[in-house]
Structure 1
Amino acid sequence: MAGHLGKTVAELNETMTIDELREWQAFDSVDPIGGHRGDVQAAMIALASCGSKDAKLSDFILFDRAPMTTEQRAIVKERQDAARSEAYTQGLIANLQSRVKGK
């Protein structure tokens, strides 16, 4: 990201707030920053050119940006599922509490 912004890592450490970092992380998840972005764009062109309606973008991505073992992927998925479940539960609790207060 530092290269994308034309700054050194030290400059970013001194000037970037945690909120701005989170915004950049969110942006990167939607529109990747750096060399991977070019790879994704090339894959999009290849996908559009291949003529197969069954092909997926991932079929044309040549490397994994964040390689993990199968076990690591399972752990990450388990944590993500648990976090989604917790967020859903907290949303239900908040909804019920607001209904009780509204009566």
Structure 2
Amino acid sequence: MGKTVAELLDTLSIRELKEWQVFDRLDPIGGHRGDLQAAMIALMQSSNPDAKLTDFLVVDPNPMTDEQREVYEEQMLMIELQQSAQRTISMFEQLDSKNRH
């Protein structure tokens, strides 16, 4: 922001500080933002169709133990399978509905 902390305390209103806090939540300020931008570029340049943004981050934004990661991945797989099953059920329901008319 080009000012010292003391200068900011003298000139920055509470409202403006809150606006900056909201902006920082939406579009983070600082090194992490640069890491995200670099990871996005690396992801776009990657030839791996299964690659995820987190594969290219220098620091894991959501560190987990191996056990936690295993549980998380199992939960994500279950959600994905449930969604796939629901799409299949919906497809058959639509076909059944068309066949009745």
TM-score normalised by L of structure 1: 0.50
| 1:56 partnered with 2:55 | no
Correspondence for 1:18 among 10, 14, 18: 14
Give the greater-gyration-radius structure (CA).
2
Report sequence identity in percent.
62
Q: Which amino acid aligns with 2:2?
A: G
Q: Which residue of 2 aligns with 1:47?
A: 43
Q: Where has structure 1 moved over 4 Å in runs of 4 or more?
A: 67-70
Q: How far is the alpha carbon of 1:25 from its aligned partner?
A: 1.4
Q: Which amino acid aligns with 2:11?
A: T
Structure 1 unaligned blocks of 5 or more: 71-103
| 1:28 partnered with 2:24 | yes
Structure 2 unaligned blocks of 5 or more: 66-101
SS in 2 for 1:28: helix
Number of equivalences: 65
TM-score normalised by L of structure 2: 0.51
Q: Which amino acid aligns with 2:41?
A: I
Correspondence for 1:6 among 2, 7, 13: 2
